[in-house]
Structure 1
């Protein structure tokens, strides 16, 4: 559906907009395993950097991200996607070599999925590659960012939010769009002394509840601005 009708893919339009205004480079840090970010960046004709070579069998290297892909000819910019919990198309073989094998319907024989699932082994797995490099780059991206846009993130992941909370407490701006703000989100931002935020969630009447450090709390009646597609109508003319 995304490929057949890219015009109906709001994440694509958002990435295109950001690439046109952010020096042709942006970073996505995600806890999800899906590949929506990769599809959107591909449709935007951007170079994608995940730490893996973008080959049919993409090997992982801690050096790939050091290339300046944003200057590559024939592309519309660079999108770094740091998937801190792994991806549906990441696998390791019996020799512990990591590969990106895209668009697989089945697990390749002799390979193990590289995703961090909830459980006792969750944190021990992240001390090994590719996660060690990916976490370092995600932390660097958060530290160097001018601001943050969070889509559906509930501030419930101990891997991501310590650095993010530290940065927004230093007055870096943050926008959050989600169907329902979690208590942890409100605690981390509103109750934590952050001074540059705007949060959107669904209001009980179907409109949008807004929490803003500059304009206070208010409701936008009759509009689903907490949905990315509707939000984009506010920022893209």
Structure 2
């Protein structure tokens, strides 16, 4: 097992353009070049050794063309937060493997959480699994206690509810600690980390106004993407309406942002630098208040949540936080607002000429994987998987079992999918680069039609 894990961390995998199968390679001992796995030979790499520039020549144009698909979506997992946190303070902690503190039914909760995680192919359970199981257990115990008062004492249910409240509080504060690490990093490192985040986001969001808006989806509870968008000047459109105390609306229309060009009347044009934004699993600053989902003004990296919960009139009720494993207590709220969010996800992906790029997502959520798999049944769709590693093996397992290899591109490995190399070498230029397109067109015409002095520069015709 240790040998296999080492292999996963050492090898890089790529499959783009006309590659018929994934190409495995690793960094050479001098850390300057890449070498193919033994016995492998490629037309673009006859000697089995190549440099970053060679790889860029294959990857960057391919991604640039895919990013200009009619419909483009970006699915971000915890890997982005981990990458930015490490760039800012050279340490990482995603809070998912924290030990929970249930004083009653502890073994039952952990056992059920482990079964759930194994069924999803994720191995050991994490704190999300345990919160979800504890929440379901409380519902079940409340149903049973009327007929089994002696078997299930009400005090045990109260203790379990109190434990769950404490676990969610700890989970929320740990997420805030990650935000605080990034925000309070040393000035040079912190600024550089946010700069990488901005370049990453704008590589996807730099779409001309005639294209459909970029759809950004994330499974993260933190507000890193929102912070990066603020710095980049990227306007995010979500389902929340309002300024002081925004409320989640199911009746969202196709709201967009337009502007009127000077001197032109009645012909509004799409504003550039706009993206649609959906947090599939909820957010740290979403609260269930009297049946409505509202977003509170919780600062990025705040010291704690208590004052902000009190201002919302909740008196420290952490179970009102809308994070996915903490679906609230009745069926209606358990489905809302997540049913609306996943409807947006499916509608954005499952249509012709659609491309989705995943970054830092380990394919551990079946409800998300199912939508992506359905999308791939449409022949004109494409999936691009960018990941720092595949330690669990889930990515390659999905690649093989879904049977849509020609519609899937892979960029996996710490030497190519780290945030530095991605923004410096492989992702498209984070701007609407009309100048480069015009230059390429001029060069193409010059190659096909030699310059004729007597005709006076016919290559511009």
Q: What TM bracket, shorter-length normalisation?
A: 0.7 to 0.9
The offset of 1:66, in angstroms, is 2.4
Residue 290 of structure 2 is aligned to residue 102 of structure 1: no
Residue 393 of structure 2 is aligned to residue 183 of structure 1: yes
- Tell me which stretches of 4 or more aligned residues in structure 1 moved more than 6 Å: 118-124
What is the CA–CA distance in structure 2 between the aligned matches of 1:6 and 1:54, rounded to whole Å? 31
C-alpha deviations, 1:42-90, integer Å up to 9, x for none? 2221221221126231111123452123x26896432222111100010
Aligned equivalent of 1:138, options 325, 345, 356: 345
Unmatched runs of 5 consecutive residues or more in structure 2: 1-181, 261-269, 315-319, 430-461
What is the CA–CA distance in structure 2 between the aligned matches of 1:187 and 1:102, rounded to whole Å? 41
Residue 290 of structure 2 is aligned to residue 91 of structure 1: no
TM-score (norm 2): 0.41
CA RMSD in angstroms comes to: 3.1
Could you tell me which residue of structure 2 aligns to residue 226 of structure 1? 417
Aligned equivalent of 1:80, options 276, 292, 296: 276
Could you tell me which residue of structure 2 aligns to residue 221 of structure 1? none
2:287/2:296 contact within 8 Å kept? yes
Please state whether the residue corresponding to 2:205 is helix, strand or coil.
helix
Q: Bigger radius of gyration, 1 or 2?
A: 2
Please state whether the residue corresponding to 2:241 is helix, strand or coil.
coil
Unmatched runs of 5 consecutive residues or more in structure 1: 203-207, 209-223
TM-score (norm 1): 0.76
What is the CA–CA distance in structure 1 between the aligned matches of 2:401 and 2:239, rounded to whole Å? 36
Structure 1 residues 56, 120: closer, same or farther in 2, change over 3 A? closer
The residue correspondences of 1:128-207 to structure 2 (distance < 5 A) are 128=336, 130-144=337-351, 146-171=354-379, 172-181=381-390, 182-194=392-404, 195-202=406-413
Residue 245 of structure 2 is aligned to residue 60 of structure 1: no
Please state whether the residue corresponding to 1:66 is helix, strand or coil.
coil
Higher relative contact order (CA closer than 8 Å, sequence separation 6+): 2
The offset of 1:150, in angstroms, is 0.6
The offset of 1:157, in angstroms, is 0.9
The offset of 1:138, in angstroms, is 1.3
Residue 221 of structure 2 is aligned to residue 33 of structure 1: yes
Could you tell me which residue of structure 1 aligns to residue 427 of structure 2? 235
The offset of 1:162, in angstroms, is 0.8
Please state whether the residue corresponding to 2:401 is helix, strand or coil.
coil
The offset of 1:153, in angstroms, is 1.0
Please state whether the residue corresponding to 2:412 is helix, strand or coil.
strand
Could you tell me which residue of structure 2 aligns to residue 11 of structure 1? 197
Structure 1 residues 20, 35: closer, same or farther in 2, change over 3 A? same
Please state whether the residue corresponding to 1:91 is helix, strand or coil.
strand
Structure 1 residues 72, 53: closer, same or farther in 2, change over 3 A? farther
